[in-house]
Structure 1
């Protein structure tokens, strides 16, 4: 899945010479947490977060203290330069950007112009959708040798039972790197016949781990 499929295209922006007060009002009015800062050519030159505003704004306990701070230009507290992504980037790639840089949103640019924004909430929601957990389904986890041809063999067994697959995830076994864990979500509420068949054909089904199920 690409960034352009999940990004918000309607983006609230400010210019560097807008004030902190204007930024605060936009954050509160639109219930958002980040505002990209752009120049007249709509190039991203900075970004501001609700945390930046809280850190800069006067304490609510001191109504008369440093109120002039709110009239300062936003470029005095914005983060710059800004990490951006391209609309044709894959979402798993930008997930690593979020993690490595410990950020909560990224502007999306094309030809240096702002065209969208992706937040950690957008990314998390998309990853949840990709797991298939929002559909009525059952999860099966199988430990298999890390070699070619295993996944097609398993999906063939599932297909022969006329069962649809909602999602497939594969990750290395943390204890044995020669093994992989295949996580399947299948569109049935009764996976027991399939689990039984997988075990009969020699597959190590880790989940569901039901006592008394034939080994």
Structure 2
């Protein structure tokens, strides 16, 4: 699954000349935490709520509202924006995007194609993609199978599932140690009794099975 399938296209943007107060108001209105900074349709930078709040006066300040607004009106996005933000192309995979965010400790990625901003993908979008991949919103059964890791393991399991005429909605594999893995299946049935029996007869251990 690609970033293009889950990103927000045509995101709301600002320019370097946007006042910090206006950027904060825009974030508050749309419940954003990041805003791309552009010049025309060319990506320039990124500004986050964290950077904007860092230059905002503390609630404990003794300045009056008018003094605060006077000071803040002089601050532009160009004063606090992130230089050289990390970008990806639309055909970056979801797992690659998640890894980049994790390694750089960032909450979003700007999506760029031919130097033109085409979208933005956030941590929330990544979580939503994971939910879809695993079929968590679809009715059915979640089954976890423990097995020795080996070539052809998934083929063996799905062959048994097929013979039991059960549809696989989602699948994931977690390595427990060097020799054993947990295989999670999201199945399109609420009555997997016959499948459990077939898997156990084939030597598989069912760790958990729940609707």
Give the TM-score, by structure 2 length: 0.91
State the match for 2:181 in structure 1.
180
RMSD, matched Cα: 1.7
State the match for 1:111 in structure 2.
114
Match for residue 120 of structure 1 among 96, 119, 123: 123
Is the 8 Å Cα contact of residues 59 and 65 (structure 1) preserved in structure 2? no
Residues in 2 aligned to 1:115 and 1:201: alpha-carbon distance in whole angstroms: 49
> Counterpart of 2:8 in 1: which secondary structure?
coil
Match for residue 132 of structure 2 among 123, 129, 132: 129
Q: Deviations over 1:158-187 (max 9, x none)?
A: 1111110011101211xx312222111111
Distance 1:202 1:157, change over 3 A: same
Unaligned runs of 5+ in 2: none
Q: Deviations over 1:43-82 (max 9, x none)?
A: 3222111222222122345434543124311111111110
Is the 8 Å Cα contact of residues 140 and 183 (structure 1) preserved in structure 2? yes
Is the 8 Å Cα contact of residues 146 and 205 (structure 2) preserved in structure 1? yes
Is the 8 Å Cα contact of residues 143 and 204 (structure 1) preserved in structure 2? yes
Q: Which has the higher strand share?
A: 2
Match for residue 94 of structure 1 among 93, 97, 111: 97
State the match for 1:202 in structure 2.
203
State the match for 1:163 in structure 2.
166
State the match for 2:5 in structure 1.
5
1:12-51 to 2 correspondence within 5 Å? 12-40=12-40, 42-51=41-50
Q: Deviations over 1:184-207 (max 9, x none)?
A: 111111222211221111112212
Residues in 2 aligned to 1:133 and 1:28: alpha-carbon distance in whole angstroms: 30
> Per-residue deviation at 1:131?
0.8
Once the two structures are overlaid, the 10-residue window that deviates more, 157-166 or 61-70, is 61-70
Residues in 2 aligned to 1:199 and 1:126: alpha-carbon distance in whole angstroms: 32
Is the 8 Å Cα contact of residues 38 and 44 (structure 2) preserved in structure 1? yes
Give the TM-score, by structure 1 length: 0.89
Is the 8 Å Cα contact of residues 58 and 65 (structure 1) preserved in structure 2? no
Residues in 2 aligned to 1:8 and 1:15: alpha-carbon distance in whole angstroms: 19
Q: How many residues align?
A: 206
> Counterpart of 2:170 in 1: which secondary structure?
strand
- 2:57 matches 1:58: yes
Unaligned runs of 5+ in 1: 210-215
Residues in 2 aligned to 1:21 and 1:149: alpha-carbon distance in whole angstroms: 58
